Structure 1
């Protein structure tokens, strides 16, 4: 069948062998992700190579709010002056070591961005936020246009208008 991205199903998907090299990301998919789904604090999507059910990559999406003062002045000046604004959090994104270097990260990032953009027809969101663990991850997101928050360079955002352009560019 091939590569498919689907919502995590703890009864179906094998998460026990997932290893991306970052302990917090490995532990999340193995131990916490299904709890987050049950409690509705995050949606977790996994990439599998069907019919195999081993998770080879995953990401999580949830609602988020950001303070206007955290954003760049050029972006903030076009937004309403509410103290908190709606956004979508791309809380985690990871690729198993066996699949790294194969553009799987790009594939699942683009899928996450597409889902975030599609959700804006039902629930408002002005940007996708990515929280990163290290400089390598920061560089990965910056390749796709993400910008750092003023006070926290490990936290990045991509305005939804840029998400739309990126989705059109990649024809997704």
Structure 2
């Protein structure tokens, strides 16, 4: 039986956080953040968190039960002493504005169901279609756990290739939004959600599951 998820929505008081599981103890801080800080920081406009829930009827007990989330904050990526990719060469700034995936987690009980893919597609859509048209934002970035590096590479993220970053416990990776849009729309196929906004096609972006927690 296939599982369907609602589009990620802003965290709110109605969301049920009690039963989300991080699995490995290394990811316990991600669970604790969701339960203890996410709503407060969201309301204070410090970190915006979007949660994923099952697509079920309003009277279903699973309604509003959170099974994954992604959090965003503003950031920048510094390319001092780093090799610039072709798409960024010629820019006179060493640091570029970015939307940062500060946290991403899939409940350990609901992995291998495509939820990591849902959250990543949402993050890319958020950066390209919602943030970039209104605010200077060239990159999507993440401080990746080693276990998640290959996951992000499949979405086109690249590593800052300085020795310090390559040897970091959570190296900085980035995704060039402009280059993705200029590749004849092939890298990020788009479709309408019925309200005029464009969304990333989940079927056409290759990604393997399970998605590692960030």
TM-score range (shorter-chain normalised) is 0.7 to 0.9
Describe the SS at the equivalent of 1:73. coil
Pick one of 130, 135, 148 that aligns with 1:123.
135
Runs ≥4 residues deviating over 4 A = none
Partner of residue 35, structure 1: 40
- How far has the Cα of 1:70 moved from its partner? 6.2
If the length of structure 2 is used for normalisation, what is the TM-score? 0.71
Distance 2:80 2:110 in 1: 38
Describe the SS at the equivalent of 1:105. helix
- How far has the Cα of 1:95 moved from its partner? 0.4
Contact 2:5 2:115 in 1 (8 A): no
Greater share of helix residues, 1 or 2? 1
- Per-residue CA deviations over 1:67-107 (Å, capped at 9, x if unaligned) read 23265322575252224321110111110011111121011
Contact 1:127 1:157 in 2 (8 A): yes
Unmatched 5+ stretches in structure 2:
191-199, 203-214
Contact 2:21 2:31 in 1 (8 A): yes
Distance 1:69 1:85 in 2: 11
| Bigger Rg, which one | 2
Count how many residue pairs are aligned between Structure 1 and Structure 2: 169
Describe the SS at the equivalent of 1:109. helix
**1:78 to 2:95 alignment:** no
What RMSD in Å do the two structures reach over aligned CA positions? 2.1
Distance 1:167 1:77, change over 3 A: closer
Partner of residue 189, structure 2: 168
Greater share of strand residues, 1 or 2? 1
If the length of structure 1 is used for normalisation, what is the TM-score? 0.87
